Amino acid sequence: MLRGMPAGAVCENGHNFDRARQGYLNLLPVQHKASRAPGDNIAMVQARRSFLSVGHYRPVADFLSRHAVTGNPQNWLDIGCGEGYYTEILSGRLGPANGYALDISKDAILQACKRSKNINWLVASMARVPLATGSMDLLTSVFSPLDWHEAKRLLSGQGVLLHLGPAQDHLIELRQMVYAEVRPYDDAKHLASLPEGLEVVQTEFLRFRIGLEQDADRQNLLVMTPHGQRVRTECHDRVVEGLKNVTVSVRLDRVRHTGEQ
């Protein structure tokens, strides 16, 4: 695990990691990469940054932040932080707490570094988080895959994990335009992998609709989601020309060690 230094960090085995000039630490060894550039590509990152910066998902960020401040965490980590939109807002709400954020996509972290200098940005795998066991009072995971066992390892005794993901009708209008058949979505399927020793203590939902008045908003929404990676040309054009409103629907699960108060 890492110990911080002004110009970088050192692990318990004495390996040094230099901090890039943009401010992040690259802690993803070549042997742990499934491809040369894992994670979201630059097109997805830029589309997400543009879309989120307009404020369409600000209610989601506020919803998450309201839950995050409970318990006054001193050390926190945003897992799968992407280009840092939610992380930056969390940092503002959590004040002087020591914040970390990681993503496997270097393109995403490069954009995230532009949002705040008060966060420890890490290029790293969520399956091998370079932080000490039991060191995090708060973990957040927003629209991101999660390694539950690694999350369990990181949580302090009274630590909390906030897992935020899509609910059943999230982006339903977009999905109806992209797919010939929209399959029912189980918004609790992630809990099938919940390891022994962790429990869900609270679940809340948030649902609202947003208007997409600009072509750029519709284009960015499509490109930033996994749906945009599979869409045919005719479906792409139909979305960009015709998706005027879309439903945002999310589920937030509050998870902690079993038996903790």
Q: Is 57 annotated as a binding residue?
A: yes
DSSP sequence for the chain = -EEEETTEEEETT--EEEBPTTS-EE---GGG-SSSS-SS-HHHHHHHHHHHHTTTTHHHHHHHHHHHTTT--SEEEEET-TTSHHHHHHHHHHTTSEEEEEES-HHHHHHHTTT-SSSEEEE--TTS--S-TT-EEEEEEESS---HHHHHHHEEEEEEEEEEEE-TTTTHHHHHHH-SS-----TTGGGGGPPTTEEEEEEEEEEEEEE--SHHHHHHHHHHSGGGGT--HHHHHHHHHH--EEEEEEEEEEEEETT--
Report the residue count for the chain: 261
Q: Provide the β-strand partners of residue 222.
A: none
Is there a binding annotation on residue 179?
no
| 15 marked as part of a ligand binding site | yes
Task: Collect all residues with Cβ–Cβ distance below 8 Å to 78 and sequence separation of at least 6.
Answer: 86, 87, 90, 99, 100, 101, 102, 139, 140, 141, 142
Q: Does 32 carry a binding-site annotation?
A: no
- Compute the C-alpha angle 110/112/118, nearest 5°: 115
Q: Which residues are annotated as a binding site?
A: 11, 15, 57, 83-84, 170
Q: Which residues are annotated as a binding site for Zn(2+)?
A: 11, 15
Q: Which residues are annotated as a binding site for S-adenosyl-L-methionine?
A: 57, 83-84, 170
